[in-house]
């Protein structure tokens, strides 16, 4: 997440699945990037980043920067906010900041300068977007098997 304010929401929705949810709160430190990379490599499985951030020059570049500095993702996907979602959900754009050094690149990609906060999405909309993105990667049968194996291990430990 770009924003700290949305971490609690995502943790509420997906925390019981054991998925890490972090807020970059602006450009993250190299320490955080290194920690994420170490954890991703230690997991020993395919790594997927599902990202939500503002549709503005900094929000788009923040995602690019994090992916580049962590260098650990097999797949990285911007779940929200995209230009298509702005149209689909009829979100009102705000004027962008022409003083942002990232503005020319953003204009080249999007055609004009604007700023739309990811918070402009209704919580139900954001939840559906994440559910859809997560469904492409989440294996409920594998998850249930792991839960079953953990319970089996706990039962055996309690028998001793």
Q: What pLDDT, in 10s, does the model give residues 110-138?
A: 999 999 999 999 999 999 999 999 999 99
pLDDT of residue 142: 83
Give me the residue label for tokens 């209704």: 122
Residues of the chain with pLDDT under 50: none
User: CA-CA distance, 137 to 153, in Å (whole number)?
Assistant: 26
The three-class DSSP label of residue 135 is helix
Whole-structure pTM value: 0.86
pLDDT of residue 137: 92
Could you list the beta-strand ranges (E) of the chain: 48-52, 75-80, 94-95, 114-115
pLDDT of residue 112: 92
Which tokens in the block code for residue 85? 């979602």
Cα distances (angstroms) measured from residue 142 to each of 49, 112, 146, 148:
19, 44, 6, 10
User: CA-CA distance, 91 to 93, in Å (whole number)?
Assistant: 6
Which tokens in the block code for residue 117? 């906060």
Pairing mode of beta strands 48-52, 114-115: unpaired
pLDDT of residue 143: 81
Percent with pLDDT over 90 in the chain: 76
């Amino acid at each position: 997440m770009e924003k700290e304010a949305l971490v609690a929401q995502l943790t509420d929705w997906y925390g019981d699945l054991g998925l890490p949810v972090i807020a970059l709160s602006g450009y993250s430190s190299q320490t955080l990037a290194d920690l994420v990379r170490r954890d991703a490599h230690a997991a020993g499985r395919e790594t997927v980043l599902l990202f939500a951030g503002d549709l503005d020059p900094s929000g788009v570049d923040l995602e690019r920067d994090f992916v580049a500095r962590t260098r650990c993702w097999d797949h990285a996907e911007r779940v929200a906010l995209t230009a298509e979602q702005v149209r689909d959900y009829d979100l009102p754009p705000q004027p962008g900041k022409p003083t942002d050094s990232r503005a020319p690149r953003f204009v080249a990609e999007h055609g004009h300068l604007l700023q739309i906060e990811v918070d402009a999405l209704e919580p139900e909309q954001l939840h559906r977007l994440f559910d859809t993105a997560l469904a492409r990667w989440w294996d409920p049968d594998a998850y249930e098997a792991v839960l079953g194996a953990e319970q089996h291990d706990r039962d055996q430990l309690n028998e001793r």
